[in-house]
Structure 1
């Protein structure tokens, strides 16, 4: 199905909405789109008419972890309409495995930070080892960078680039303030060194921080974006100024922070038991989503996170959609948590559905420098999500999935449904 026409549909291009439209896919790319009156008359491809359906660019999850034990992740993301994922930390052997896996049919496209820039006993080592004392995990952690100075940063970046071909670099800046868990974090000097050396190699930098203090510090280091918002206290104007100073963006991971504080359980259970997704999830996934990490239940409040994103949005800071879905991150599920996050953007932050969908498509692509995905536009790859109904009016319609394509190839989960 790499060449075909979808017609009589609504199209969200990643920026605008076209009603009663068509899209023409040829050899896995967008050949043309527009009003149905302009459908090419000389075409031998199959034509599918899908009234009351909306076509979206494939979603881009800008924050995932699909390392050890996550070989099912890329196929599951695709089933949920997430056609591209951005890995934010994994070990060499797992990155190499995912690079190979993404070449196979029925998998999401894979972008990666490779292994993140870590220090001895820094995040997330103490949290992982407190709950997982297996030899396998210890062996993985032993391979992590233990950065200390300029020379170690240069050696780490050269190794990461050579071995893992990263699309960006991930920094960790976590003091444990939001979790009442004192942790060792890198110095601001070290973080600046990582940012500057990454930039000199043409790579963006993305940082983990979950407290206001840590967020302000790592923004001062010059990172391009934050992989979380904070949940330890209400936002201040100072944080808006810090984002503006570096033109940084925020991927807040609100659903995951709800699990971190323990306050998200009710909504997690709602999504886990939604009848529209039961055929896309395993029983273990459902159980996994219905539990909470709870690391920040004493010090953190998810409403502080909501407040921070509302303030950043009102100030014109770019908000990107990403789930932080990971095997060890209970309260999340590969693919499903992106739809949960979109719902929170609309119902808690006050975004319009178009704004939320943009945050998961064209805005992610623009900020990460992905040139051929994130839009339904002539010449772009045909990464597409077809849903029944109108998510422009009701964001929760994104779970009415009727077809998913990566480069024009239909995900096998939808072959029977789509042909019907």
Structure 2
């Protein structure tokens, strides 16, 4: 085992020097068999030892926490959000994500102020970490948000990338979508220029796409990641051949509403009554929505079977949405273990978070303590007993 050690994290709340968590099941996050009757040592903000109880050497004077009957998994990574633009509201967004066990979030392409970059530069106690794509790039979309760059020439496309690169964005976002024929979508000439310029600046490109044909064309242009699945039809052999040629491709399925009545009682105690009532009223069976969901479920299953690296992303600004997305991914045919890996290790790797995503020595101590095993039922990720970020317990007495 690696000897215990600690690292000072900017703004981290005071924590016991060394704490040992005992008698717990540990889902590491990388797909390996869970460690039963495990212990792990947290020294400051980091895991120092993780293993079977008999193999972990407990430092003298360590604080002991008994987690018998609990399951621990890494904090969840949400790779597709659109968060608030003022500091106060963004801080609140990240606090609410921490409440639901989200350890990091990537905001994809609608961040127009310096606030996003200022918050990204900080590690704030009790908050999820933040990543940003700055302003994304699209063709003009009259009537829709002007937060992304609207480009009509390759020169404009390259300049937009250069401006994002100067701010050191984490990734470049593009939209390739005609919004059901209402706008002219970003052309191959333009998104090819974006991808080329991004790669010249050491940046990856992630795309919002809708159709199978655009998915094929963007892949041929060198795209690095999809922020949505194909939504108009089932994936064909030509596309899957392209996918196999792009071994580093990352796919965030971003499943739509499943269109079936769901059990949302797990949110009742957390959400304001009016917000919960609104959710309840919309919680109905809708055949058209389920048919739309089913196309994307088939496509997710096909991508998973092909070994594509899958991550969890939710779109919008709903803090608890990753738990819904994870259940949808299992409903589409992935196993709970595959989904947990997508939500933890894969997400961390996609964000280039080398110190997060798994429960291992020397990693940041970001984890959920669950009252039940998510490998038995993925919705058990919602049964949160406590959340720890950077070794410190997150305040969860109130969501509001």
Which residue of the partner structure matches residue 249 of structure 1? 250
2:149 aligned residue: 145
Change (3 A) 1:371 1:14: same
Alignment check: 8 A CA contact 1:175 1:185 kept: yes
Shift of 1:388: 1.0
What does residue 37 of structure 1 align with? Answer: 54
RMSD of aligned Cα (Å): 2.6
Q: TM-score of the superposition, structure 2-length normalised?
A: 0.86
| Residues 355 and 364 in structure 2, CA contact (< 8 A), matched pair in contact too | yes
CA–CA distance in structure 2, aligned partners of residues 80 and 25 of structure 1: 21
Would you say 1:83 and 2:78 are equivalent positions? no
The gaps in structure 2 that reach 5 residues or longer are 1-14
Alignment of 1:9-408 (within 5 A): 9-15=24-30, 16=32, 17-68=34-85, 70-71=89-90, 72-93=92-113, 95-96=115-116, 99=119, 103-121=123-141, 126=143, 128=144, 141=146, 144-163=148-167, 165-176=168-179, 180-247=180-247, 248-254=249-255, 257-258=256-257, 264=259, 266-267=261-262, 270-271=263-264, 274=265, 276-283=266-273, 285-286=275-276, 289=279, 291=282, 301-326=292-317, 333-334=318-319, 336-346=320-330, 348-408=331-391
Are the structure 2 counterparts of residues 288 and 115 from structure 1 closer, same or farther at C-alpha, using a change threshold of 3 Å?
farther
- 5+ residue gaps, structure 1, are 130-140, 327-332, 416-420
Secondary structure of the 1:412 match is coil
- Give the Cα separation in 2 of the matches to 1:299 and 1:351: 18
Deviations 1:212-258 (A, max 9, x none): 2222222222111100112222222222123222232221111xx22
Residues 409 and 298 of structure 1: CA distance in aligned 2, closer, same or farther (over 3 Å): closer
Quote the offset at 1:266 in angstroms: 2.3
Give the whole-Å Cα distance in 2 for the aligned partners of 1:288 and 1:217.
40
Aligned to 1:134: none
Aligned residues: 373
**Structure 1 residue 297, shift from structure 2 partner:** 5.9
Pick closer, same or farther for the CA change 1:6–1:298 going to 2, 3 Å. Answer: closer
What's the TM-score, normalizing by structure 1?
A: 0.82
